[in-house]
Structure 1
Amino acid sequence: MIRNGIVAGAAALLLAGCGTVGPDYHGPASALPKSSKATGAFVSAEHVPVTDAPLPPDWWRLYQDATLDRLISEALAANSDLRVAAANIRRAEAAHLGIEDERRVQTSVQGGPAYIKPSAIEEVMPGEPIPNVSIYSATAGISYQVDLFGQIERAIAASSAETEAARAAYDATRVTIVADVTRAYLDACSAGREIAIAERSIELQRRSTELTERLVRGGRGSSLDATRSRAQEKQILATLPALAGRRRIAAFRLAVLTGKPPADFAPEVDRCAAEPRLSRPIPVGDGAALLKRRPDIRAAERRLAAAVMRIGVATADLYPHISFGASAGSVGFLENPLSADSFKFSIGPLISWEFPNRDRARARIAGAEAESDAALARFDGAVLTALDETERALSIYGHDLEERAATLAARDEAARAAADADRLFRAGRTGFLTALDAQRTAIAADQQLAAIDTRIARDQVAIFLALGGGWEATNAP
């Protein structure tokens, strides 16, 4: 009678309209990624030498530098952060397999011996002693959970979305690693270029000192002029240790990024005397391509999908969980195992329902809905961050290019002034202090131009990083 009632109840629930509960996911419920302001051309690109061509997957090859290509290949093969991100993918995949297993038939086997000493019975029923006995028990069973309300299906979908988010996180790490390697390499080469400029300035100043000392010995100059020239030479010489240190730090950084100890840095990095230049204007595409390409946006969207699916997982707890199964076992004395009267069998549905405590299930649903709202907000935040980073990087790049143009013009004027002052000094038509000041101004202008070129090289890497390219060429593990 009881079993018939359980079956009737299960049938009534089936007829009441079972199915997958909770909301379906159809993409972010936000108009932000579809706005023309978000998907159109970048505002800051209007007066910057860039193109709307698509960003190539291997954008670093635009520099046409074999050493940079090799360093990036080594980093993508051995970087420790990428190895962590790959391990996170494997962990997510393992968790997904565990959840998928819940929709398969489950099996169980239990068994073991026991030794019984009936001492308590002897005290209650004195007389003939009851012997100690050894018994055994063994049970095997199978069960299958009927996913009437889609709880397992929703859990699998959420887990799948989390795995895809882990893959997007790997891609985002790859983007960062590529940009870090490029930035460190350009820093090392820029420092090498500034060292070369300083060394040329030192050599020029040394020749000026030698000329001044000859004039002093010939009675045409003062010892003060020679002292000033030597002081200028030493001032320039004092800038070399800092530049060499900057280049060495960049080399150490490159070694670590490629999975090596800092001491095992690439020797050719120390020999780089000029940063590579882009072969053509930066291809930036538009906002729509940016939002599709950025891995952090993809990761946020996949986490949003997982959060929506978990609402269905929580909602299914309002309904009964039904499992069908069967088991067979044997319990008896060890001296007479598997006798005819030791077997037992069972078959039928098992229904579990947290009733009447439905408030707990509704609280879990409310928590899942709140997490879904938070995930949507994080998705919108990722979209806004991507657009903001790109616009700012382009704007800074444009301003630095304008500053470079002015600095270049000033450097050219200072170089001409220094050449004129030196010619007049040699002809005896002006004093040495005038020539020295002109030369100091020209050297400072050279150094300022080199410094702004270093900034521009970093600006270019910042643009590539904001655009989110560099993960497409190689699939995540």
Structure 2
Amino acid sequence: MHKSLLPLVAALMAGGCAAGPDYHRPEPKAAAGGTFIMQAAAFDPLAPLPDRWWKLYDDPALDELVAQALMANNDLRVAAANLAKARATLSEAKAGRLPSTNIDGGISYGDGMQDVGGAFTQDKAQWSHNGSIAISWEADLFGRVSRAVEAALADAQAVEAARDAVRVTVVAETTRAYLDACSYAHALAVAQDSYRAASDSLKLVTAQEKAGSVGLYDVERAAAAAATARAAIPEVEALHQAAQLELAALMGGTAADIPFAARRCVLPPAPVAALPVGGGADLLRRRPDLRQSERQLAADTARIGVATAALYPTIRLGGTGNVFGNDSVKGSDSLSFSVGPLLSWSFPNISVARARIRQAKAQGEASLAAFDGKVVTALKEVELALSNFAQEQIRLSSLEEAQRRSARAHQFANQRYRAGSISWLDVLTAQQDMLTARAAQAASLQRLSSLRIDIFKALGGGWNDAAPPAPG
């Protein structure tokens, strides 16, 4: 490089600054960092949710299912491909900091023209060769390139957070499908037991009717109760099969790939300790969708700088070298070169640039509003999940009491019927109450297991990555 250009290059390197606003993370409302309003004995507000929260169930089969889903799930494959694309885009943006080069060359054959004393004469056909090399480097004086890299980095981090959000969903839904398969297996066993009990009662009352001790009315009531109990079985079987198919799909398989663990499970496991829910500050750091929204805001803020840089000149430093030769052009005459800065500036027509700045600023405001909205939604989802779980836990406790008492009432009714103090209709009524209580308890157990997953999912489900690195 020519010595006269060195001071200019040094000045450009030292004086460069990034146009547009510098990004600062938004501060959520103070209320968002406190403990959750909903509290219950089943929750631990001091312990944050661990990354691998499904291990709280202490179920090796569940651990294996989640591991397989994380390897084979098709949605995760899509998310991983999107992340690879975003990182490639970041590499492209970083390449803007490097010099660009272009090399051309060729050989041709044909007639040529020669300047002899101001008059052009035609030479004989001959071979000609030519070549050129150009090197150009943009002096990022106003930060267009650095802001573009900053935006691409934040975009890649947003896509990475989206990938983590898919992971949270896959783990949560895999666990839910497994627990549903276990819960519906339990409910199916209850429904089948209820049908057997109703069938036994029908056989008994039918025999008594033949003996003349009861009438046809009692037989019809018993038969109706047995049919009602039998009708509940197909619905539960369908739900059980649907949960197994959902689990297989989450693991990237088909109906033939339903895990054996889901087929043999007959009772849903429960966490071995109180649910660690932490507080609002833990939630804001952990949820991938909030991280994705915050990174999107950072990218849109950087793009304001990219748009603002268009108001100022673009300066490129570089040089070119050319060679052309044939039978007539030889030696030093065949070589040429140039070196120096190149300035490009749209001034005074900058209305397009200013319009793009307004567009970028409006997009930044929209991204900030979207982030604030997602924070509010995340807090609402957690509070709602905690409330639903706590209320369903109370309901399940009442249903378990109702099941115990209805079973005892049915036992007493049988004893009193044998003693001749009540009619068979009273026994059927007590039996129906018992079967209804058992079915309600099984359904509540399934709902409670699913609501527990809602809590884990709303809390973010782990992958609490460190804060994104500073743009560079």
Structure 1 and Structure 2 fold alike (TM over 0.5): yes
Match of 2:469 in 1: none
Match of 1:122 in 2: none
Counterpart Cα distance in 1 of 2:16 and 2:258: 64
CA contact (8 A) 1:248 1:270 kept: no
Percent of aligned pairs with the same amino acid: 40
Q: Is residue 2:55 matched to residue 1:91?
A: no
Q: Is residue 2:65 matched to residue 1:71?
A: yes
The structural deviation recorded for 1:377 is: 0.9
The structural deviation recorded for 1:134 is: 5.1
SS at 1:344's partner residue?
strand
SS at 1:360's partner residue?
helix
Q: Is residue 2:201 matched to residue 1:208?
A: yes
AA matched with 1:164: Q
AA matched with 2:74: S
1:19 to 13, 17, 20: 17
Q: Is residue 2:391 matched to residue 1:393?
A: no
The structural deviation recorded for 1:407 is: 2.4
The structural deviation recorded for 1:20 is: 2.0
SS at 1:296's partner residue?
helix
The structural deviation recorded for 1:370 is: 1.1
CA contact (8 A) 2:12 2:139 kept: no
Counterpart Cα distance in 2 of 1:64 and 1:155: 47
Match of 1:58 in 2: 52
1:236-294 deviation line (CA, Å, top 9, x unaligned): 11211111111111111111111112331113312221111221221100111111111
Q: Is residue 2:32 matched to residue 1:38?
A: yes
Counterpart Cα distance in 1 of 2:239 and 2:353: 59
> 5 Å matches for 1:77-476?
77-114=71-108, 131=124, 135-333=128-326, 339-472=331-464
AA matched with 1:25: Y
Counterpart Cα distance in 2 of 1:16 and 1:252: 63
The structural deviation recorded for 1:149 is: 1.3
Counterpart Cα distance in 2 of 1:21 and 1:382: 29
SS at 2:270's partner residue?
coil
Counterpart Cα distance in 1 of 2:191 and 2:376: 43
The structural deviation recorded for 1:349 is: 0.9
179-188 or 206-215, which moves further after superposition? 206-215
1:374-412 deviation line (CA, Å, top 9, x unaligned): 111111111111101101111111222232233233333
Counterpart Cα distance in 2 of 1:375 and 1:198: 51
SS at 2:208's partner residue?
helix
Q: Could you say if the C-alpha distance between residues 342 and 129 of structure 1 is closer, same or farther in structure 2, counting changes exceeding 3 Å?
A: closer
The structural deviation recorded for 1:129 is: 7.7
Count of residues in correspondence between the two structures: 458
Counterpart Cα distance in 2 of 1:59 and 1:18: 48
The structural deviation recorded for 1:338 is: 5.8
The structural deviation recorded for 1:227 is: 3.5
The structural deviation recorded for 1:364 is: 1.4
Q: Could you say if the C-alpha distance between residues 336 and 267 of structure 1 is closer, same or farther in structure 2, counting changes exceeding 3 Å?
A: farther
Structure 1 unpaired stretches of 5+: 1-5, 120-124
SS at 2:153's partner residue?
helix
CA contact (8 A) 2:13 2:139 kept: no
The structural deviation recorded for 1:464 is: 0.5
397-406 or 459-468, which moves further after superposition? 397-406
Q: Could you say if the C-alpha distance between residues 18 and 63 of structure 1 is closer, same or farther in structure 2, counting changes exceeding 3 Å?
A: closer
Match of 1:3 in 2: none
What is the TM-score with the length of structure 2 in the denominator? 0.90
CA contact (8 A) 2:131 2:322 kept: yes
SS at 2:310's partner residue?
helix
Q: Could you say if the C-alpha distance between residues 136 and 287 of structure 1 is closer, same or farther in structure 2, counting changes exceeding 3 Å?
A: same
Match of 2:470 in 1: none
Counterpart Cα distance in 2 of 1:315 and 1:23: 9
1:300-354 deviation line (CA, Å, top 9, x unaligned): 1111111111111111111111111121111233x56864312111111111111
SS at 1:138's partner residue?
strand
Counterpart Cα distance in 2 of 1:248 and 1:338: 85
Counterpart Cα distance in 1 of 2:68 and 2:263: 18
CA contact (8 A) 1:48 1:394 kept: no
SS at 2:38's partner residue?
helix
SS at 2:137's partner residue?
strand
Structure 2 unpaired stretches of 5+: 114-118, 467-472
AA matched with 1:20: A
SS at 2:22's partner residue?
coil
CA contact (8 A) 2:41 2:274 kept: no
What is the TM-score with the length of structure 1 in the denominator? 0.89
Counterpart Cα distance in 2 of 1:156 and 1:432: 82
1:412-446 deviation line (CA, Å, top 9, x unaligned): 33222211111111222211111011101110111
CA contact (8 A) 1:72 1:178 kept: yes
